[in-house]
Amino acid sequence: MTSRRTPNLMRRWLTQALLPLAAVACSLGAQAAQPLKVGYSDWPGWVAWQVAIDKGWFKEAGVDVKFEWFDYSASMDAFAAGKIDAVTMTNGDALVTGAGGAKSVMIVLTDYSNGNDMIVAKPGIKTLADLKGKKVAVEQGLVEHLLLLNGLKKAGLKESDVTLVNAKTNEMPQVLTAKDVSAVGAWQPVSGEAMKAVPGSRPIYTSADEPGLIYDGVAVNPASAKARRADWIKLVKVWDKVVAYIEDPKTQPDAVKIMAARSGITPAEYLPLLKGTKLLSLSAGSKVYVKGEGFSSLYGSTKIVDAFNVSNAVYKAPQNIDSYLDPSFTNAK
């Protein structure tokens, strides 16, 4: 199969050279011949699409879509470069990617983190208040940093009451073993590995304590969302079937088997990761997809992330949140 790729490469270069010409000549109908390209990566709410892929539900729904498996950050790079039509990402990262120039609209929510993101503390530290004056490692500007600030505020502390150590999320298990670091922030499976690395350490604050802090979904290139609206609606409809299949106790083992295979681990290892993710059916999603304040609204949550991003200099100007969120796909009858 792959030996035929390199001629393809040439063809692709040629295509790109001819693209400006083609764009003029191209009608909507010609575009529709291309399958939708969606980049997805290793997070339970996104791996869930694998169920629909393996079961052939997209074909049943009459939508031509190709899912491409990426590393998370590589998937956002590909989306930013305009090489894929949609990517699975968090509402916060959609703002970050958009601030860099690649705007998107989130057409469907897949889930919110319900415990998978956590602040893991060493034995002896029972609450966030115990962290006062101690060192906490997070990857600055990412969701765990936000989770920590949110928790500290509730515990009556300020960011300056702890010393932040900036480290890569993937390295948190090793960081937690360092003598002077009291806690780290990471998501699964890294957070689970951190707890294994320092026996007796446990989560003192998780995304389950603040449901809706981090929403995950499918973000689509606005041009594609407009031009291929009917196709995207069909794709969104398939999501309901996926959630039902995963949550039904009768079919769950089969679903977990498919998802675990995609991630390259055993179903037994996978189940706890799934439990830390609250999948949102379309009706649950549309309840969140309403304007409001606070974390129970996607708009409220995104506004908080936007303010966090600006205050941490992830980007300079606040984003126009309404342009990133479009409930009409989820609500389409």
Partner 1 sequence: MIARKLGSFLLPLLVWCLVSYLPFIWHPKVQVEAPGGVDYFQSGMLVDREEFAQQAADMRAQGLALPTGVPANPIYLPAPHRVAQALYTAFTTEPEQKDAPWLHESLWQSIQIILWGFLLSSAIGVPLGIVCGTYQGVGRLSEPFIEFFRYLPAPAFGALAVAVLGIYDGPKIAIIVIGTFFQQVLIIANTTRKLEATLIEAARTLGTRGVRLITRVVLPGILPDLYRDQRILLGWAWTYLIVAELIGTSSGITFFITQQARYQHFENVYAAMLIIGVIGFGSDLLLGRLGHALFPWDRTRDRT
Q: Which residues bind partner 1 (CB under 8 A)?
A: 2-3, 5-6, 8-9, 12-13, 39, 42, 50, 54, 68-71, 74, 77-78, 80-84, 170, 173, 189-190, 193, 196, 199-200, 202, 257-258, 260-265, 269
In whole angstroms, the minimum distance from the beta carbon of 179 to partner 1 comes to 13
CA 43, CA 226: separation in Å to the nearest integer?
27
Q: Give the sheet arrangement for strand 181-187, strand by strand.
A: 163-166, 135-138, 181-187, 117-121, 202-206
Phi, psi torsion values for 71, nearest 5 degrees: -75, 145
CA 193, CA 189: separation in Å to the nearest integer?
6
In whole angstroms, the minimum distance from the beta carbon of 244 to partner 1 comes to 20
DSSP annotation of 327 reads: T
**DSSP for 90-140?**
EHHHHHHHHHTT---EEEEEEEEESSSEEEEE-TT--SGGGGTTSEEEE-T
Tell me whether residue 118 or residue 321 sits nearer to partner 1 (CB atom): 118
Tell me whether residue 169 or residue 302 sits nearer to partner 1 (CB atom): 169
Tell me whether residue 68 or residue 161 sits nearer to partner 1 (CB atom): 68
Tell me whether residue 149 or residue 183 sits nearer to partner 1 (CB atom): 183
Tell me whether residue 84 or residue 146 sits nearer to partner 1 (CB atom): 84
Q: How many CB atoms lie within 10 A of CB 12?
A: 11
In whole angstroms, the minimum distance from the beta carbon of 267 to partner 1 comes to 9
CA 131, CA 152: separation in Å to the nearest integer?
9
- Our CA dihedral for 313, 319, 321, 324, rounded to 10 degrees, sits at -100
In whole angstroms, the minimum distance from the beta carbon of 258 to partner 1 comes to 7
Tell me whether residue 50 or residue 150 sits nearer to partner 1 (CB atom): 50
In whole angstroms, the minimum distance from the beta carbon of 273 to partner 1 comes to 10
In whole angstroms, the minimum distance from the beta carbon of 268 to partner 1 comes to 12
CA 50, CA 88: separation in Å to the nearest integer?
13
What six digits make up the tokens of 209?
A: 């304590």
